[in-house]
A and B are shown apart, each in its own frame.
Chain A
Amino acid sequence: MLLSKNRIIRRRAVVGLLLAASLTLLTLSFRQGSSGLVGEIQRDAVSVTAPFATIAHRVTRPAVDAWNWGSGLASAHDSTEKLKHLQARYGALQVQSQQNADEVARLKALLHFRSTLGETKSVAGQVLEQSPTAYQNTITIDIGTSAGVAVNDPVVAPTEDSGALVGKVVQVTPGQAVVTLLLDPQNYVTAGVQGEPNAVGLIKAASGQVGILSLELIPNAVHVGENDVVTTAGFKTDRLASYYPPGIPIGRVTSVSGNDTTGDTKVIQVTPFADFRNITDVLVLEPKR
């Protein structure tokens, strides 16, 4: 831009004067504070501009209200999202906490059951796999011969207050073992009713009923009532011995009926203590061999 020398000087003079005036006012203001001439000027300026500021405030009030309303909605939306997020997180933590509590309860029960075994040694393991089809009633656990597990060792699982028989080992490798559950039709266990020395028979999977066991070969003369507890009998003779130690809980009697084919024995339905669909931890018992 083409400027004359005088204009340049004038510009510099104006800017210099304004800067000097600003510095002077600033110095006065800093020294005098709200009292004195500078404070008086400020109060006068406020009294002059106050009505206009009020008008501006009132004129822009609807816009301010609209803005606040919009930002309030956005804030409320954000708060809702945060609450939902927290709720989801809390729910996840609650589930995790419940799982931990369940696991602690299971392990406590297992420990308690272990203490009731007396001299019978045991080794704990976890379930690696559960048979994915209904054709098999087996589980695979993460302990094998290297942990002392052998074929036909009984396997128990923790229940709410103790432990319960779930099956026996049928295959074993150094690191894993396959357990056939009581629900398998090929699995028989010598069992008796607690408190009835003569009530000894064989327990196996009930035919036609999923998840129910059947205690058979109990003479009609022996009294067995509902809610009686069925445990392993653990017989032992000179030549033969049961794989299962006596006294391992199996289930509770739910119904007693006569046998239609022989007429001499009872058919007793037993609901197992163990939840076969949800076994996570087991104890493999090592009876004296």
Chain B
Amino acid sequence: MILDGVKIGLCVFVLAILEVAATPQLTPFGGGPDLIIILVVALALWRGMEAAAIAGFAGGLLLDAMTFEHLGMQSLVYVGCAWAIATYANRREAGPGMLEPPPPRALPWLVIGATAAQFGNLVMHVLLGDHPAAGILFWHQIAPAILQTTLLGLLFLPLLRRIFRPSQALSRVPRIATA
């Protein structure tokens, strides 16, 4: 539990630093990748809702602080994403002969999470009084960010899977028939 907390804290810090300091310079289309959502999705799938929500809250807070956004704005979005993904990704039923459902696939949920985070940020900005041009925002922020997040997810999800190894896959354990 404590080890998980340390790992999550380090990951949040490193990813937030990378997201603010490094990736904006590498983005060819504008709208950098959302690294925190990768962590949030990974934790929501493999560590549960609390860990994902805490990581999202801390990551969002750090990002808001570093970028001088309204503090709490991204936290709200990430916590919402963590709740939604953790709730809906683990709703699958166990297959025949299995004690637990198979673990959800990470990449589709990352796409969903990245999309939700981008539109969540848009909604927050609109609610807070910003009125960005929808077309420009979509093509220069939302769409590139989703695409780049998904591409970077191909790299980061396996790394995070190694760090936050999912609990024993009971789904592979066949149900024991009893007389």
Q: Is B95 an interface residue (CB 8 A)?
A: no
- With both beta carbons as reference points, the residue of chain B lying nearest to A68 in the complex is identified as B25
Of the listed stretches B63-71, B131-139, B154-162, chain A binds B63-71
Please report which residues of chain A, range 61-107, place their CB below 8 angstroms from some CB of chain B when the two chains form the complex.
63-64, 67-68, 71
- With both beta carbons as reference points, the residue of chain A lying nearest to B61 in the complex is identified as A25
Knowing A52-B13, A53-B21, say if A29 contacts B71 (CB, 8 Å).
Answer: yes
- With both beta carbons as reference points, the residue of chain B lying nearest to A48 in the complex is identified as B65
- With both beta carbons as reference points, the residue of chain B lying nearest to A63 in the complex is identified as B26
- The CA of A67 and the CA of B26, in the complex, are separated in Å by 7
Q: Is A222 an interface residue (CB 8 A)?
A: no
Min Cβ gap B33→A in Å is 13
Is A22's CB under 8 angstroms from B79's CB?
yes
Which of A23, A54, A60 has a CB less than 8 Å from the CB of B72?
A: A23
- Contact code string A14-51 (vs B, CB < 8 Å = 1, else 0): 11001101111111111000100010011001100100
- With both beta carbons as reference points, the residue of chain B lying nearest to A10 in the complex is identified as B50
Residues of A within 8 A of B83 (CB): 15
Knowing A18-B79, A19-B80, say if A29 contacts B17 (CB, 8 Å).
Answer: no
Q: Is B111 an interface residue (CB 8 A)?
A: no
Is B71's CB under 8 angstroms from A25's CB?
yes
Residues of B within 8 A of A42 (CB): 64-65, 68, 71
- The CA of A68 and the CA of B24, in the complex, are separated in Å by 12
- With both beta carbons as reference points, the residue of chain A lying nearest to B71 in the complex is identified as A29
- The CA of A54 and the CA of B25, in the complex, are separated in Å by 13
Q: How many residues of B contact A (CB 8 A)?
A: 38
Knowing A14-B54, A22-B57, say if A41 contacts B17 (CB, 8 Å).
Answer: no
Which of A21, A63, A68 has a CB less than 8 Å from the CB of B75?
A: A21
Knowing A15-B49, A42-B71, say if A23 contacts B66 (CB, 8 Å).
Answer: no
Is A53's CB under 8 angstroms from B66's CB?
yes
Residues of B within 8 A of A22 (CB): 57, 60, 72-73, 75-76, 79
* 20 additional A-B residue pairs with CB within 8 Å, beyond A18-B54, A25-B61, A60-B22: A2-B100, A11-B49, A14-B54, A15-B49, A18-B53, A19-B80, A22-B76, A23-B72, A30-B70, A42-B65, A46-B65, A49-B16, A49-B66, A52-B17, A52-B21, A56-B18, A60-B21, A60-B25, A64-B25, A68-B25
The interface of chain A, by Cβ under 8 A from chain B, is 1-2, 10-11, 14-15, 18-19, 21-30, 34, 38, 41-42, 45-46, 49, 52-54, 56-57, 59-60, 63-64, 67-68, 71
